[in-house]
Amino acid sequence: MRIKDIRLSLGESMEEFGKRFDTSKGTVNNWEKGRNLPNKSNLLKIAKLGKINPSVLLKGETAPMPFRFPSLNDILYDRSKDYIYECYEIITFNTSDVREEDIIYTMIVGVKCILDKIPNGDNANRSYTDVLKKSEWVAVEGFLDNFFTDGGSLSSLSYPQIVAIRDFFQKLVDYRLAVGKSPN
């Protein structure tokens, strides 16, 4: 449908649109019906015509976060609150079923596993790009930025802070297990 919307916004027929990509009306019809996808080159061209990101063209707009955890800074430094329980309650209250909870906990475990790759004893304030793959870096950055009220960035965290976040994630998963729900 997004390809069709772009084509129609240009005021073009399927045939005219297909000529842009050296393809047939039938191929454009198959794209619009979701029977097959354009190749990478055509996908990029279509996204550019629609002035949208290629991932938005493929998947649509991403859904907003259903909730956010408290401030990452508070979780790291405020000892007056039980943030494990509070975050557990936030997840439980804002997910409609155990399956959705499982997805959130799977992400938490995944981020913790990525952070576990940063070697122990490294207390330098650095980017850790020599340790993590780009995809791992992006996953952690996205998680921190989207799940905490004040966002977060891996590049701004010291090694002790990374250890504290890893411990927090592990305690959150352990708490869920203790109250009788499996992580997957």
Average pLDDT over residues 162-171: 93
Q: Return d(Cα 90, Cα 175) in angstroms, integer.
A: 13
Query: Which CATH topology does 2-59 take?
Result: 434 Repressor (Amino-terminal Domain) (1.10.260)
- Residue 44, pLDDT > 80, answer yes
Q: Return d(Cα 24, Cα 147) in angstroms, integer.
A: 44
H helices present in the chain, as ranges: 2-9, 14-20, 25-33, 40-50, 54-59, 72-77, 83-94, 98-115, 134-147, 159-178
State pLDDT tens for residues 93-109.
Answer: 988 888 889 999 999 99
Question: Quick one: pLDDT at residue 96?
Answer: 83
Q: What is the mean pLDDT of the chain?
A: 86
Tell me which of 56 and 65 has the higher pLDDT: 56
Domain boundaries along the sequence of the chain = 2-59, 72-178
State pLDDT tens for residues 70-89.
Answer: 999 999 999 888 999 999 99
- Residue 30, pLDDT > 90, answer yes
Q: pTM of this prediction?
A: 0.62
- Residue 125, pLDDT > 70, answer no
Average pLDDT over residues 10-32: 94
Q: Return d(Cα 170, Cα 109) in angstroms, integer.
A: 8
